[in-house]
Amino acid sequence: MAENKIHVDPAEILKQQEIMQAICIENKAKSKQQKACVITYGCQQNENDSERIKGMLQKMGYELTDEREIADVIIFNTCAVRENAEKKLKGNVGALKYLKAKRPNLVIGVCGCMVQQEQIAWEMFKKFRHISLIFGTHGLYRFPELLRKARANTRVFDVQNIDGQIAEDIPVKRDDKFKAWVTIMYGCNNFCSYCIVPFVRGRERSRNPEDVLDEIKALAKDGYKEVTLLGQNVNSYGKDLTENKMSFAELLREVNKIEGIERIRFATSHPKDLSDELISAMAECDKVCKQLHLPFQAGSNNTLKAMNRSYTRESYLETVRKIREKMPDIALTSDVIVGFPTETNEDFEETLSLVKEVRFDNLFTFIYSKRKGTVAEKMPFVLSGKEIQENFDRLVALQNEISREINDTYLGKTLPVLIEGESKTDKSVLQGRTESNKVVNLKGDNSLIGSMQNVRITEIRTWSLNGEL
Ligand code: SF4
């Protein structure tokens, strides 16, 4: 593994591995199997971090469970992006007080973005005396060491206001068998005025390309078919690398060469950094799915400026034009915030008109949520809560109509679908995804799970498609 100053010292990783082994021996000596439960809030990056926490817990001899009542260790991996996620978390942590009273050796831990905000973390630590352990996003690789202290009934508070380092060689317990998240970079340099992420995830740090490629080659060997490359802004991957420099477009081309991997996706892309070089790489790499999540957030230049998004409505539309010129059938999705403090009804009309013009396959729509410490926190609202809700409802109705019209064009088509597993709601039905990331339900034998199958679309539903082999 190549090293530079942003990497954790390998001796430190070795130390954590030794602690994992020691805890594993202790756990095996116990009369009953030790169990651990990890609860994840938020984005794909958090899902991927939780897979690392689970990997370390397994290495320490814990059996993973979804049942909090029977777990010896409960870890909440938190999100800071929306206020209601914070409220939900506090409710869930508070509800475990009785369990800790019944079982004093139970370890309750809270980690992730929310508690990377030192003041919030400290308030929680003081208020919820039954929390054994709080650690920020930067302390993830030291989880074994922190857990060892918490197991010895010492309350642990480990939140540091630093950029964090990249830690390789941490065990991972993947939630899926055929598709995997691969984090390629951490942090963000953009400081959108509403967003807390740069404060809790630090500045951009790219993993070395050879580490990323080695991880994906190993996944391919283990039978994984699809990888999603993750970063807060993958388009700026590599800009901070001092040696073995590689752009995100070049990285995509390298991943495309890996035998066994059949599909490549990535998230998230900042529109200002989506280069012509990347559009060409997407178009030319046969394994890169012709699907792109490109958050536009608002359709009005006034709002985009207040959001500090560093692009205009016109430049966003121009980027979409270039993408569609090279990939006419690409499925586009996006994020939109409704009710940003400076947004007027006229500004919102421009969001609606952009949605009509681009015709996204799907939109992730959010009502603006104020976050402490951001520039937007201090901005007064132009619209009332009622007006914002009405605008939000209009946007959702418009997008539902467009999504349905786009989905209707799939009827009767035969498409390759990666069969991912049984449907969560009906075990007799298999579920997979098209290249455009649409969910397809179909009847079939479980032996098909993990394979790519041609599926004819027979029925269109609001959020999914039905099909047959
Ligand atoms: S690009 Fe903007 S919205 Fe995305 S993580 Fe960075 S600051 Fe937040």
What residue's CA is closest to ligand 1, atom 2? Answer: 192
Of ligand 1's listed atoms, the one at least distance from the Cα of 309 is 2
How far, in Å, from the CA of 22 to the mean position of ligand 1?
A: 40
173-209 per-position pLDDT tens digit: 998 999 999 999 999 999 999 999 898 888 999 999 9
CA distance 236 to 240: 9
CB-CB contact of 158 with 152 (8 Å)? no
The answer to whether residues 404 and 418 belong to one domain is no
Residues 6+ apart with CB under 8 A from 224: 174, 177, 178, 179, 180, 260, 261
Note whether residue 279 is domain-resident. Answer: no
Of ligand 1's listed atoms, the one at least distance from the Cα of 188 is 6
Whole-number pLDDT of residue 5 = 60
What residue's CA is closest to ligand 1, atom 4? Answer: 232
How far, in Å, from the CA of 438 to the mean position of ligand 1?
A: 25
Q: How many CB atoms lie within 10 A of CB 119?
A: 10
The answer to whether residues 226 and 352 belong to one domain is no
Note whether residue 37 is domain-resident. Answer: yes
CA distance 349 to 353: 6
Note whether residue 250 is domain-resident. Answer: yes
CA distance 243 to 401: 49
The answer to whether residues 361 and 440 belong to one domain is no
* 3-state DSSP assignment of residue 311: coil
The answer to whether residues 396 and 442 belong to one domain is no
The answer to whether residues 126 and 215 belong to one domain is no
118-139 per-position pLDDT tens digit: 888 999 999 999 999 999 988 8
258-303 per-position pLDDT tens digit: 999 999 999 999 999 999 999 999 999 999 999 999 999 999 999 9
The answer to whether residues 360 and 426 belong to one domain is no
- CATH assignment at residue 404: 3.30.750.200
Pocket of ligand 1 (CB under 6 A): 188, 190-192, 195, 197-198, 232-233, 270
Chain mean pLDDT for the chain: 94
The answer to whether residues 394 and 429 belong to one domain is no
- CATH assignment at residue 448: 2.40.50.140
Q: How many CB atoms lie within 10 A of CB 201?
A: 22
Note whether residue 164 is domain-resident. Answer: no
The answer to whether residues 430 and 377 belong to one domain is no
How far, in Å, from the CA of 134 to the mean position of ligand 1?
A: 25
The torsion angles phi and psi of 177, rounded to 5 degrees, stand at -100, -20
pTM across the whole model: 0.92
| Element (DSSP H or E) covering residue 398 | helix 385-408
How far, in Å, from the CA of 194 to the mean position of ligand 1?
A: 9
Nearest to 114 by CA among 140, 150, 76: 76
How far, in Å, from the CA of 308 to the mean position of ligand 1?
A: 10
- How many domains in the chain? 4
Give the residue numbers spanning the domain of 342.
Answer: 290-408
- CA atoms in the 13 A half-sphere facing the CB of 452: 15
Note whether residue 278 is domain-resident. Answer: no
Note whether residue 166 is domain-resident. Answer: no
The answer to whether residues 425 and 296 belong to one domain is no
The answer to whether residues 297 and 374 belong to one domain is yes
The answer to whether residues 353 and 302 belong to one domain is yes
CB-CB contact of 291 with 331 (8 Å)? yes
Residues with pLDDT less than 50, the chain: 1-4
